[in-house]
Amino acid sequence: MPAVSFYLKNEVLDAVRARASSTNTPVSRIISRAVEEFLRTDEMNGARKRVLTNIGKALGRSDWEVLHQERTAADVDRD
C-alpha cells in the first residue's frame, strides 16, 4: 500500500492514538477504516439520490407528491 501524509488536529490524533492503544490496533488501520467508511457513506448517499431521481422520473410529479405524503404519514405512525 502506498503511504500518504496528511495533518490532523492534535485532539483528533490524540483520540486516534488512544483508540489504537485501547484496541491494540495500528493508527494507520483506524484512519484507513475511517476513510473507507466515509467513502461508503458518500457512495450510499449518491445512490440514494439517484434512486429518488429515477423514481421521480418514472412517476408523474403529482404521483410522486402523493407517494411522498403517504410515506411521510407512515413514518409518523412508527413513533
Query: Residue for cell digits 410522486?
Result: 64
- Give the global pTM: 0.57
Domain boundaries, the chain: 10-76
Query: What is the per-residue pLDDT across 19-46, written as a single tens digit (0 to 9) for each?
Result: 999 999 999 999 999 999 988 888 888 8
Query: What is the per-residue pLDDT across 38-74, written as a single tens digit (0 to 9) for each?
Result: 888 888 888 888 888 887 777 766 777 787 888 888 8
CB 27 within 8 A of CB 15: no
Q: For residues 41 and 49, what is the distance between their CA atoms, to the nearest angstrom?
A: 12
